Amino acid sequence: MSDLERALRELDVAWPETPDLAAAVMTRVAAREAPPRRAPRRRLILAYAAVALVVLAGGTLAVSPDARSTVLRWLGLGSVEIRRAPLEPGLGRELGLGQPLAEVPRGAPLPRALGTPDAAYETMLADGSTAVSLLYRGPPRVLVQSFRATVEPFIEKTVAMSSQVERVTVDGARGYWITGAHGFAYRSGAAAGFEEQRLADRTLLVERDGLLIRVEGALAKERAVAIARSVE
């Protein structure tokens, strides 16, 4: 058994079910013209390396240090470190967002434009339900929240409390770009609540299919719109 094969067998991979990449690679190899006697062995090693590269690039890996180092050396990536970055429960604690979370709950809406947050909180809403608040270190720091609520019944009164509010449309959904010192009222279920300014005097609110998306931070309007559009 080669060093590469041994290292690959030591990998502990945890990721969603994927197609049989090794079988697909070997099928393509077998379909080609038969090479000299020693070529199949080389192609087998290349097939293993191709699968390893896909796993290293796209999977969630938990590998032993020796196995990881061997694979990286074979792939010419000896200086690359693979690690799983934990959330920082203490980051943004002064914002009063609620209970810090060790990880983002499965199924929580995430903005693809920002990726994995640096901290996450479980925030209590007016009706007793909770929302996941995602905080990004930046710079600039950005807060993203998504919860079942609407601001439409209260937005005109909220507008009067801020320096400026611009009505916008994000992929057909109505939204409000708020600048200046502000807060905003919302209705969640049968209850009404009020959210204060947390990070900056710029907030984008987008109502999409009953979901209220809040993007707050020292951002240009175009960037805030792109972040809200990427929430899924």
Q: pLDDT for 107-155, tens place per residue?
A: 999 999 999 999 999 999 888 888 999 999 999 999 999 999 999 877 7
Tell me whether residue 100 is in a domain. yes
The pLDDT of residue 93 is above 80: yes
Does residue 26 form part of some domain? Answer: yes
Q: Does residue 189 share a domain with residue 102?
A: yes
What pLDDT is attached to residue 165?
A: 86
The domain in which residue 60 lies consists of: 3-74
Q: Check whether residue 107 and residue 141 sit in a common domain.
A: yes
Assess whether 100 and 142 both reside in one domain.
yes
Q: What integer is the mean pLDDT of 198-202?
A: 92
Q: Are residues 128 and 193 in the same domain?
A: yes
CA distance 112 to 208: 16
Together in a domain, 177 and 115: yes
* Residue at 215 is within a domain: yes
Using DSSP's 3-state secondary structure scheme, residue 71 falls into: helix
> What tens digit of pLDDT does each residue of 115-128 get?
999 999 999 988 88
Please write the tens of the pLDDT for every residue from 27-76. Answer: 555 555 444 454 445 554 444 444 444 444 444 344 444 554 554 555 55
Specify whether 14 is located in the same domain as 110. no
Q: Is residue 85 part of a domain?
A: no
- pLDDT of 189 reads 81
Q: Are residues 68 and 153 in the same domain?
A: no
Tell me, yes or no, whether 83 lies in a domain. no
Q: Are residues 181 and 123 in the same domain?
A: yes
Q: What is the pLDDT of residue 221?
A: 97
Evaluate the omega torsion of the peptide bond into residue 117 and state whether it is cis, within 30 degrees of 0: no
Residue 19 has pLDDT above 50, yes or no: yes
124: β partners:
130
DSSP class of residue 152?
T
Q: Rounded to 10 degrees, what is the CA torsion of 216, 221, 222, 226?
A: 20
The total domain count for the chain is 2
Angle at 71 between CA 6 and CA 75, to 5 degrees: 135
What pLDDT digit, counting tens, does each position of 146-183 carry? 999 999 877 766 655 556 889 999 999 999 999 988 88
**98 and 170 belong to one structural domain:** yes
Asked which of 39, 74, 109 is the last residue of a domain, the reply is 74
Residue 9 belongs to a domain: yes
Contact 177, 204 (CB under 8 A): yes
**Pairing state between β 211-217 and 142-148:** antiparallel
